[in-house]
Amino acid sequence: MPQTMTAAGAWAALKADAEAAKSRPILSLYAAEPDRLDRLTVDAAGLTLDLSKQPWSAAGVDAAVALARASGVEARRTALFAGEAVNISEDRAALHPALRAPAGSAFFAKGEWVSADVDHVRGAIKAFADAVRSGDTVGATGKPFRNIVHIGIGGSDLGPRLMWQALRPLAPVINLRFASNVDGSDLAAALDGLDPAETLVTLVSKTFTTQETMANGEAARAWLRAALGPGGDAHLLAVSANPKAVAAFGVSPDRLFAFRDWVGGRYSLWSAVGLSCAIALGWDVFQAFLDGGAAMDAHFLEAPLERNAPVLLGMAQVFNRNGMGRRARAVIPYSQRLRFLAPFLQQLEMESNGKRVSATGKPLENMTAPVVFGDPGTNAQHAFFQMLHQGTDVIPLEFIGVAENPEGPPGGHAKLLSNLLAQAEALMIGRSEDDVREELVAKGLDPAAIDELAPQRTFPGNRPSSLIVMDALTPHALGALIALYEHKTFVEGVVWGINSFDQWGVELGKVMANRILPELQGGPRAAHDPSTSAWIERLKRKK
């Protein structure tokens, strides 16, 4: 049975099926495997996944599941939820499931009971959000807060940004804006037109040392003080795992919402990092979001690997990446509200699994995280789908559908859904050259023109996709979707032998920027490559 295969045997079986898939129409598998659709359609925490348009046969799926098992996915999953130091290079747990577990749960990070602390911070966020929304907590001049400017970057920005765009009311009582980039244009746009007397500024940084966030935080504080005097500081909130740095910055301790080092930045939306969203969306929305994440945790823990959504989604990517040699994956939500999903996943997947050595420092045998990109359908269709249908690279896709959307004119949503289904079908089925030729002959084109045109109008097809559908874009569904992707990324990391929870690859550029900054500001010159030195000279003169 494949389930008892060794990892080497499972890899070999997966690669053999992938080899066969290179010349096998995906469509043919539906006839060959009568239970294919049922077998590859999985319900998880209110989401439905269809993985039947992937190139794997039943044997390939068995091999992929056997590979997950043989790679130790179950044992690593236990270690993750048990709060073991799965982030071994930093000797930390990665216990984001504790943040969305029901109150009164019992999670331990490296043996320390953390659930009481989680519940306490959650209570503080709820109380603060309720007080701001009800007008019990007001600004320095007595005005209620109408705006929040959320300042953070990477994991301290992308999740809240995604959540706000996905769930924001059309006419919010409290508006939420974001500034992440150290490019001054970003904060200028975020503050533009706001009344400081009605504005809260949330500074979100796990380390509270990140250059961009500190620079934007100082500028925002100056903006508050210029209008409100020193009392403006009471409009500052901090979210961080570094209370000392928060105190040194001057944010009052009763305005600090803390989280701990066992919360990874890109896994932190469930923590106090979601504070701005909890205030602007209301606590009930935030709690429903947490519940959706917890429901996906329960599914990931309990469903057999053969029916486990994060496992199957992750293994589909392993099949495409390592079996078929695919270098990228497109994520296309047919929901304008999910337009920040792709940037969020870029950090989640590429920062977690974009690595070339194992968790113990050994070179990896297999290729790891592919490029992830995407944009909402149908916009993406009119931008880059040409390449997805007819380009020389085959790029697997993930379509995300929302069955019902109360927004927009009647009938509009069916148009959106018809496009989603059409794209997935067209990519798989394609259009043969014979079919195209027949049409051109019927149109009366001459043979030379047909020879020229027919190949251009042919669609090779056999381009794989997965489909994830939710009934409606509710807070619960969004929570389930994000937790699905977190666990999918974890499964891939286990199979590839990666520590998915560190990010050493972001450090070098930061160090070098800190070296170059004083030079641009007129300080002494340091040694660089010739191109960099020349540019420092040129850009220094432009300051």
The interface region with ligand F6P, picked from 125-133, 138-146, 205-213, 290-298 by CB under 6 A, is 205-213
State which residue, 152 or 396, has the beta carbon closest to ligand F6P.
Answer: 152
The interface region with ligand F6P, picked from 65-73, 100-108, 167-175, 203-211 by CB under 6 A, is 203-211
d(CA 481, CA 463): 24
Can 299 be counted among the known catalytic residues? no
What's the closest the beta carbon of residue 269 comes to ligand F6P, in angstroms? 11
Spell out where 409-452 has E strands. Answer: none
The interface region with ligand F6P, picked from 202-210, 285-293, 386-394, 429-437 by CB under 6 A, is 202-210
d(CA 180, CA 157): 7
- The answer to the question of residue 274 lying near ligand F6P (CB under 6 A) is no
Catalytic residue among 84, 349, 351, 398: 351
State which residue, 159 or 377, has the beta carbon closest to ligand F6P.
Answer: 159
- DSSP assignment string, 348-372: IIIIHH--SB-TTSPBPSS----EE
State which residue, 344 or 399, has the beta carbon closest to ligand F6P.
Answer: 344
- The answer to the question of residue 137 lying near ligand F6P (CB under 6 A) is no
What's the closest the beta carbon of residue 135 comes to ligand F6P, in angstroms? 31
- The answer to the question of residue 532 lying near ligand F6P (CB under 6 A) is no
Is the separation of the CB atoms in 200 and 149 below 8 Å?
A: yes
Residue 439: which region, alpha, beta or left (left: phi > 0; alpha: psi -120 to 50)? alpha
Q: Which of residues 348-377 bind ligand F6P (CB under 6 A)?
A: 351
Spell out where 198-279 has E strands. Answer: 199-204, 236-240, 256-258
Task: State the residue for tokens 């959106």.
Answer: 416
- The answer to the question of residue 474 lying near ligand F6P (CB under 6 A) is no
Structure tokens at 19: 């080899």
Size of the site for ligand F6P (CB under 6 A): 14
State which residue, 282 or 493, has the beta carbon closest to ligand F6P.
Answer: 493
Site track 61-90 with ligand F6P (rule: CB under 6 A), x = hit: ------------------------------
Can 351 be counted among the known catalytic residues? yes
d(CA 204, CA 210): 10
SS (H, E, C) 72-99: CHHHHHHHHHCCCCCEHHHCECCCHHHH
Q: Which residues touch 434 (CB under 8 Å, ≥6 apart)?
A: none
- The answer to the question of residue 210 lying near ligand F6P (CB under 6 A) is yes
Site track 499-528 with ligand F6P (rule: CB under 6 A), x = hit: ----x--x----------------------
- The answer to the question of residue 260 lying near ligand F6P (CB under 6 A) is no
Question: Binder to ligand F6P among 161, 266, 329, 355 (CB under 6 A)?
Answer: 266
Give the count of beta carbons closer than 10 Å to the beta carbon of residue 272: 26
Is the separation of the CB atoms in 152 and 122 below 8 Å?
A: no
What's the closest the beta carbon of residue 264 comes to ligand F6P, in angstroms? 7
- The answer to the question of residue 235 lying near ligand F6P (CB under 6 A) is no
Catalytic residue among 22, 120, 415, 510: 510
Is the separation of the CB atoms in 98 and 107 below 8 Å?
A: yes
d(CA 352, CA 364): 15
Phi, psi of 399 (to 5 degrees): -95, 140
Grouping H, G, I as helix, E, B as strand and the rest as coil, residue 42 is strand
What's the closest the beta carbon of residue 380 comes to ligand F6P, in angstroms? 26
Q: What length is written for the chain?
A: 543
Give the count of beta carbons closer than 10 Å to the beta carbon of residue 371: 14
What's the closest the beta carbon of residue 255 comes to ligand F6P, in angstroms? 17
Specify the DSSP class assigned to residue 347. I
d(CA 101, CA 123): 14
Can 212 be counted among the known catalytic residues? no
Find the angle CA(537)-CA(542)-CA(543) to the nearest 5 degrees: 100
- The answer to the question of residue 390 lying near ligand F6P (CB under 6 A) is no
Chain centroid to Cα 190, Å, comes to: 23
Q: Which of residues 143-182 bind ligand F6P (CB under 6 A)?
A: 153-156
- The answer to the question of residue 205 lying near ligand F6P (CB under 6 A) is yes
What's the closest the beta carbon of residue 499 comes to ligand F6P, in angstroms? 13
Q: Which residues touch 90 (CB under 8 Å, ≥6 apart)?
A: 261, 501, 502
Catalytic residue among 19, 120, 365, 382: 382
State which residue, 180 or 423, has the beta carbon closest to ligand F6P.
Answer: 180
State which residue, 206 or 476, has the beta carbon closest to ligand F6P.
Answer: 206
- The answer to the question of residue 216 lying near ligand F6P (CB under 6 A) is no
Catalytic residues: 351, 382, 510
Instruction: Please give the residue ranges that form the binding site for ligand F6P (CB under 6 A).
Output: 153-156, 205-207, 210, 213, 265-266, 351, 503, 506
